[in-house]
Amino acid sequence: MILDFDFEELMRISNIKRWGIIEMSRSQSLAEHAHNVSLISIMILGKIDLNEGMKTNLEGFVTKWALYHDMPELVTGDMPTPVKRFIEADLERLDKEMFPKYCEYRDNLPRVVRAIVKAADYIDAHQFAEKFCIDSRKEEILCNIENNLGAYISKKENVLVSQAVEKLEIE
């Protein structure tokens, strides 16, 4: 068992699909997304202006949180972002009731770890959509992801992550 999830639930990670309401030329599983977010998170951490000892201490937290960040979707499935935003308070209550260990782990992470993984989450979404989106709204979708990432990393408390993301060589 990892946090609130048993072996059987964890093994469903490859079967949970993302991008339910956006037309893509291929699907992306939650497992692929978690893996990508983990790699991108490690890249962001490497660009953050911290001493090497601090980076080494954070690496395990960053890697684990990148792999764990969407675990409630093993039960709920992936929901479109507009729906998530609309029912955000209800989702938080659901998470706290159904996944208390997950919430405790998340809530006790260093702020920078959560910020790194959230930025990596947006970057993976943008990279995947840029390559595989065939939806008629592709430009709007990409613009929304870019705007969401920009708004997130421009927050004062995310300045280290913002500087690191700017140093990434993303094409």
Domains belonging to the chain, first-starting first, are 7-167 (1.10.3210.10)
Residue 82 and residue 93: Cα distance in Å, rounded?
18
Rg (CA), the chain: 16
pLDDT tens by residue, 114-137: 999 999 999 999 999 999 999 999
Percent of the chain with pLDDT over 70: 99
For residues 2 and 34, the model is more confident at: 34
Amino acid residing at 21: I
